[in-house]
Amino acid sequence: MSSRAALPASWYEASVTRPPPVPALAGSIEADVCVIGGGIAGCSTALHLAERGFRVVLLEAGRIGSGASGRSGAQLLPGYACGQDKLSAELGAADARRLWDFTLEGLDLLRERIARHAIDCDLVHGQMHCAIKPRQREELLAWQREFEDDYGYASTRIVGRQELSGLLATRRYCAGLLDTNGGHCHPLKYTLGLARAAGAAGVALHEGSPVTAIARGSLVTVQTATGSVRARYAVLCGNVGNIGLERMLARKLIGVMTYIIATEPLGADRATALITNNMAVTDINWVLDYFRRSADHRLLFGGRVSYSGVDPAGTARATRARMLKVYPQLAEAAIEYAWGGEVDITMSRAPHFGRLDPNLYFLQGFSGHGMVLTGMAGRLVAEAIAGQAERFDLYGRLRHRDFPGGQALRRPALVLAMLWYRLRDLL
């Protein structure tokens, strides 16, 4: 979701008290590292670098967390959107296992950051993928076997229809894969907490500072409308926001619109009955639904996707209709908030991390798995800048193709390709 957008009319924004804006960059300054983007990836990168003793400046085009990091579905998941098979085919089984382990480390890192910096972000443990039809139940069984047999991951178990009926007040699903190591949180509170920790560690934060140009060389000069930063290193953490800064990155990435609604407060008893163990839930359709309870007893429900890049009319109504397929008993519940934004995806759905120059790094292509992976990416790029690049460079071995069709036709081509997957959901 683009970090350049105005603050969304989301439940997340309505449920936090933001600190006053920090000043925009003014004048010319110097730093060891300039981080571009104030989401989880940027704040994590800046915090890790500051803890290593680097002088860090972070530039955010809007407000901290105003992009994907502050509006997402906020499910805490191990693994990657592309699946482990894709990683094994490109890197071999051993290195695919290493990448899997990085995401488990990312889950531990998130919990450690929350504890160390006292970030009150409504952290809840437990996440479940659900099957709508028998063939999807077989997919869940295959996932569970792969997790245990190939990766030694014993935190998941299959939940049958009878047990599922005691966890979810819906008849839509026939089975689930429960992961007790996953979970969910308030993503904006978490992002703001990371930014606060980065500031306390010495990072110079500047909001309202969109980057207009980057001059590459032995020193990188990052230009805004009101100032510039000259640094030994720079890191692009804007995800979809990277597109306007570097043409090569733009060809590998596209932003798709996704949407979330929040009901009115339902009351503790009614909300608890919907998801009795308070886990996060997602189905495994290509165009998937995902939902969870909020700390103030709402249902947060996301699901609709627009690959055209246009926010179509009736978004809240269409997302509500999807919610009622799961929970028809909410037909009389008012929808108080509806919001959306861009999720950055790559052709393969694998993350795209690397260097444009030896001193110019980028992080993008989280493809809907950003809550955990963005924080871990910050740790890995900080390691690389500090001279320990082996783990970061593993991602650089993943091949990333351009989206076909060039600038004019890439979206129409993507829309046509996605029709097949939408049809497959119906089979």
pLDDT digits (tens, 9 = 90+) for 75-106: 999 999 999 999 999 999 999 999 999 999 99
Whether residue 421 is predicted with pLDDT greater than 50 in this model: the reply is: no
Q: Kindly state the DSSP code that residue 53 receives in the 8-state scheme.
A: T
- pLDDT band of residue 425 (cuts 50, 70, 90) is low
Task: Give me the domains of the chain, ranges plus CATH numbers.
Answer: 11-396 (3.50.50.60)
Is the pTM higher than 0.95? The answer reads no
At residue 240, the pLDDT reads 65
The answer to whether 126 and 179 have CB atoms below 8 angstroms apart is yes
Average pLDDT, the chain: 90
For the residues 337-362, what does the mean pLDDT come to? Answer: 91
Whether residue 184 is predicted with pLDDT greater than 90 in this model: the reply is: yes
63: helix, coil or strand? coil
Whether residue 173 is predicted with pLDDT greater than 70 in this model: the reply is: yes
Whether residue 267 is predicted with pLDDT greater than 60 in this model: the reply is: yes
At residue 410, the pLDDT reads 46
At residue 33, the pLDDT reads 98
DSSP letters for 249-280 = HHHT-EEEEEEEEEEPP--HHHHHHHBTT--E
pLDDT, one tens digit per residue, over 288-335 is 899 999 999 999 999 866 544 555 557 788 899 999 999 999 999 999
At residue 402, the pLDDT reads 86
Question: Per the structure block, which two tokens stand in for 15?
Answer: 């449920």
**Bigger pLDDT: 6 or 191?**
191
For the residues 209-234, what does the mean pLDDT come to? Answer: 97
Please list, in sequence order, all residues whose beta carbon lies within 8 angstroms of the beta carbon of residue 109, skipping any fewer than 6 positions away. 375, 376, 379
At residue 176, the pLDDT reads 98
At residue 94, the pLDDT reads 96
At residue 427, the pLDDT reads 54
In whole angstroms, how far apart are CA 23 and each of 17, 18, 68, 200, 328? Answer: 18, 14, 22, 16, 47
Percent of the chain with pLDDT over 90: 78
At residue 142, the pLDDT reads 96
394: part of which helix (H) or strand (E)?
helix 390-396
pLDDT, one tens digit per residue, over 151-169 is 999 999 999 999 999 999 9
- pLDDT band of residue 414 (cuts 50, 70, 90) is very low
DSSP letters for 96-149 = HHHHHHHHHHHHHHHHHHHHHTT-----EEEEEEEESSHHHHHHHHHHHHHHHH
Q: Which of 246, 298, 302 is nearest to 268 (CA)?
A: 298
At residue 405, the pLDDT reads 57
Task: Find the distance separating the first CA and the last CA of the chain, reported in whole Å.
Answer: 30
Cα separation, 278 vs 173, whole angstroms = 17
**Bigger pLDDT: 342 or 24?**
24
Cα separation, 300 vs 6, whole angstroms = 21
